[in-house]
Amino acid sequence: MTRIPASLVKQLRERTSLGIMDCKDALKEAKGDLEEAIKILQKRGMTIAAKKSGKATTEGLIASYIHSDGKIGVPVEVNCETDFVASNEEFKALVKDIAMQIAALCPQWVRPEEVPPEVLEEERERHRAAWDKSGKPKEVVARIVEGKLKKFYEETCLHEQPFIRDENITIKALLSSKIAQFGENIVVKRFVRYTLGKE
């Protein structure tokens, strides 16, 4: 049986914000491999998130982040199920982190499903037109276009972006880990990103 040092558990807790026992179990399953343990916890978080996704989120917080130069500002609403979680310091920190994420990486939508069909089709057509002249087979072009759309989602949808504090996880994975931690559904409801002098 793999002995898991306390320092490794501590590292995993710092990376995931999950409980000691969850971290120990994941490290045992991963035979002491930190990155593998993170993947295991992410998968578990996704499972819990899927079960919680239908739960009503009527509580939460509106927080804001103003960049140090005063030229970018973001108010964001993040919902949860109870006032108990909404008043938790870690939840407040999560909302602040999400506001900072939006200020830094400028997403346009929360999740891919929110991208208007006409925007998606325009993006798809743009890449298709660029690659159609390459002489590559149509099925290869189709795969390239889908890869470009994945990149488009990563750039424009908050859920698909790498988390600015840990680029090994996406915002969606971060939220899933917090859902697992708090035992409640957590939803980024809406946000606005203001840039000085721009509509």
Q: pLDDT at position 94, please?
A: 96
Q: pLDDT at position 12, please?
A: 80
Considering the chain, tell me which residue range(s) the CATH 1.10.286 domain(s) occupy: 116-155
Regions of the chain short of the pLDDT cut 70: 1-2, 16-19, 44-56, 132, 199
User: Which positions ≥6 away from 6 have C-beta within 8 Å?
Assistant: none
Question: Rounded to 5 degrees, what angle do the CA atoms 79, 82, 88 make?
Answer: 85
One-letter amino acid of 27: L
Q: Which helix (H) or strand (E) is 86 found in, with range?
A: helix 83-86
User: Which positions ≥6 away from 150 have C-beta within 8 Å?
Assistant: none
Q: pLDDT at position 62, please?
A: 96
Structural tokens at position 118: 């006409």
Q: pLDDT at position 1, please?
A: 53
Q: pLDDT at position 19, please?
A: 67
- Bridge partners of 76, per DSSP, are 63, 191
Structural fold of domain 6-52? Helicase, Ruva Protein; domain 3 (1.10.8)
Structural fold of domain 59-111+157-195? Tetrahydropterin Synthase; Chain A (3.30.479)
Q: pLDDT at position 98, please?
A: 97
Considering the chain, tell me which residue range(s) the CATH 3.30.479.20 domain(s) occupy: 59-111+157-195
Structural fold of domain 116-155? GTP Cyclohydrolase I; Chain A, domain 1 (1.10.286)
Q: pLDDT at position 153, please?
A: 94
